[in-house]
Structure 1
Amino acid sequence: MRFELGAEEIEAFTAELARLREEHRDLDSAIDALERMGAVNQIQVQRLKKRKLYLKDRISQIEDALTPDIIA
């Protein structure tokens, strides 16, 4: 059972969603840049990829919270 979100909650989730998507894109660019450099620090790349995966999961959670349940 889900509860309806208020306008303030929707606004907060929407703002967080935009911030997380931007950070996800930035990490993607950073990973690409590191891999193009040649002498790649694999530990650093793995940490960035792990953070990127966390962001993807959080984005999905927020999108799910913002999407109303449809009863068929």
Structure 2
Amino acid sequence: MSLSSHVQELKKKHQTLSAHVEALQRSPGVDDLELAQLKKKKLQIKEEISRLATH
């Protein structure tokens, strides 16, 4: 997999997680632990995208 396609896949995962987080935040009775884990994963992906983009 090329670097460009890897970054694109990461961006898709980030967007999917973002949409999932937004949906959970609008839901009543949201599991705070699950939400925190998803946000952490989303941040990790964003950091990896940034790291790869600078290389």
Please state which structure has a larger fraction of its residues in helix.
2
How many pairs does the alignment contain? Answer: 55
Percent same amino acid among aligned pairs? Answer: 27
Note the residue ranges of structure 2 that are not aligned, 5 or more in a row. Answer: none
TM-score scaled by length of structure 2: 0.94
RMSD: 1.0
Hey, which bits of structure 1, 4+ residues long, moved more than 3 A? none
Structure with greater Cα Rg: 1
TM-score scaled by length of structure 1: 0.73
Note the residue ranges of structure 1 that are not aligned, 5 or more in a row. Answer: 1-10, 66-72
| Cα distance in structure 2, aligned partners of 1:29 and 1:12 | 26
In the TM superposition, residue 26 of structure 1 has moved relative to its aligned partner by: 0.4
